[in-house]
Amino acid sequence: MLLFSPYQLGQLKLTNRIVMAPLTRSRAIGNQPNELMATYYSQRAGAGVIISEGIAPSPNGLGYARIPGLFSNEQVEGWKRVTNAVHNEGGKIFAQLMHTGRMSHPVNMPAGSTIIAPSAISAGMEMRTDQGMQPLPVPEEMSLSDITQTQTEYIKAAMLAMEAGFDGVEIHGANGYLPEQFLSPYSNVRNDDYGGNIENRCRFVLELAEKVGQSIGFDRAGIRLSPYGVHGGMKYYPELDETYIHLSQGLESLGHLYIHLVDHSGLGAPEVPWRIKTAIRKQFSRILILSGGYTKDKAEKDLASGTADLIAFGKPFINNPDLVKRMENNWPLSDNLDPSTFYSSGEKGYTDWPTFN
């Protein structure tokens, strides 16, 4: 099967075409990667490549409880333990850089940090904190200097990711976080070069992609996108397809390694055709990773048809650390997920899932 065949991802030779999708698990006490996280990722190193959970490039990006950062020497050392553990098991791992933007709450953030976004518009939702669910506040609108500073923080984090031993970096441009907040006219009502028409709303993301690629090499840089996604208060807008086509053309011109596309069809997204997947495939000639509710058979079908080059699996990796072996050998998958442990702390529901016997 193609799903279990080797694949060349930039400079990396993957043992299979299965990607472990990024999964927020909230085990980074004090926003610091730790030995428990190293165990978790090494258990799942059978994936062709792991995309880490979202990692904040600065204190301003730490919107959720106990998510890790990558902006200090201590965090670099913590991530070295994680990447070494994965590499020792023969795996590959990319760092996903995630700035939460307006999807942030002060309870989850360190002193001195600020909730920033393209425009001063709340997502109108509640945020999980260790003090219970809290309404999201209105963010501060980013100044031009804030935009430059934030992009600089991403660049530094990308370079620190290389120092920490990651094999590449993925910009989290999906799920209603800061980059997507620039893309949507519902969260971006600016009247300068970063708002208004499609070209301006894509400017922050394309500048960011260019700067990250220049800092670590475009063959180590990818981006995750989620057209039609509704997470983080995102909504459908008439020029959505045009926006993502323009964005894909820009990423093609830059030479970015891959686009990681999340298919939200049937997952609460608007009832519109998933036509943008085909449109992006036509505009972007490099590697396309598809994610969203995949089974083994559906993954194989999309690889065989050329619809995708790699397939990402998310939740099945939570309770099946040996997911690749299970699928390859037609062993049954565990189906006893416990949502109460998704974002808790400690080993329960995290590193205590057994392999198939």
As beta bridge partners, residue 54 has 96
Active site residue 177: yes
Residue type, 320: N
DSSP code, position 69: B
What is the secondary structure of 113-166 as a DSSP string? ---EESSS-----EEEEBTEEEEPPPPEEPPHHHHHHHHHHHHHHHHHHHHTT-
DSSP label at 268? T
The angle at the Cα of 310, spanning 317 to 40, to the nearest 5 degrees, equals: 25
- How many residues make up the chain in this entry? 357
Question: In a 3-state reduction of DSSP, which class is residue 87?
Answer: helix
Q: With CA atoms as reference, report the closest residue to 157 among 42, 52, 248, 266.
A: 52
Q: From the candidates 7, 177, 294, 350, which is the catalytic residue?
A: 177
User: What ranges make up the beta strands (E) of 150-220?
Assistant: 168-172
Block residue for tokens 């990558």: 70
The first and second tokens of residue 138, run together, are 């209105």
- 306 three-class SS: coil
The SS3 assignment for 95 reads: strand
Q: Which residues pair with 20 in a beta bridge?
A: 50, 313
Q: Which residues are catalytic?
A: 177
